[in-house]
Copies of this chain bind each other. A is one copy, B any other.
Amino acid sequence: MTILDLGSGFGEFCRFARERGAASVTGVEISTRMLAEAKNQTGDSGITYLNAAIEDHPIGGNAFDLIVSRLTLHYIKDYRGVVLAAFRGLREGGSFVFSVEHPICTALLKGWQEDAARNKLFWPVDDYQKEGERTHHWFVDGVVKYHRTVETYVNTLLAAGFRLTRLLEPRAGAAIPADRPDLAGAARRPPLLVIAARKPANAGAADNSQ
């Protein structure tokens, strides 16, 4: 497989894909610091790292069998632009697979409501229908996320010609490691939304009419 990783971070997935037999992997990452570390950890001519913002990177047409994006698209303002570029960039029969923070989590960045003993009571949702910027404190102040509904994540793919192959809301398993108490909440509201979609083999005759 020829693979493109949009938001490749430290290159974990690029190396994993090569270990699993990918012919070549291209990682695109906006952070020069992460990219330097990725290069530092990678000794493999089958992996190419490029420094660019996802939305600025020109994706070649019919070039990839798989385009992946792990937990980055909720930082991208123009989701539709990325979807259209991914569709063009995939070969027929190729797949676009991505994870994002779940819309239940990005709607309102208030976090778990707790009682006086700091037990988690429930996860608050508000402004779900109001898509757009959410400002968040994440290591530094003012990290901007973009909240989108599940409807938008799914229908934008269908409108582009993709066929939905899978939608996942992964949960923490029953066996949460003792050193990861933070995962307990993942069984109570979904932290992630994962979507897999395929460019149909006969994309010219895509049958996604309503």
Contacts and interface: CB of A to CB of B under 8 A. Distances in A.
Interface of A: 104, 107-108, 110, 113, 121-130, 149-151, 154-155, 158, 163-169, 171, 186-190, 196, 200-201, 207-210
Q: State the 10 A-B residue pairs at the shortest beta-carbon distance, nearest first.
A: A122-B124, A129-B171, A122-B126, A154-B167, A151-B169, A164-B164, A123-B125, A128-B189, A125-B189, A129-B187
A82 B164 CA distance: 21
A128 to B, nearest CB: 5
Most buried by B among A149, A151, A209: A151
B150 A122 contact: no
Counted per complex, copies of this chain come to 2
Contacts of A110: 122
Contacts of A124: 113, 121-125
Contact of A196 (B122, B128, B186, B210): B210
A102 to B, nearest CB: 9
A201 B206 CA distance: 12
Contacts of A168: 151, 155
B196 A207 contact: no
Given A104-B104, A158-B164, A200-B207, A150 B169 contact: yes
A122 B151 contact: no
A165 B208 contact: yes
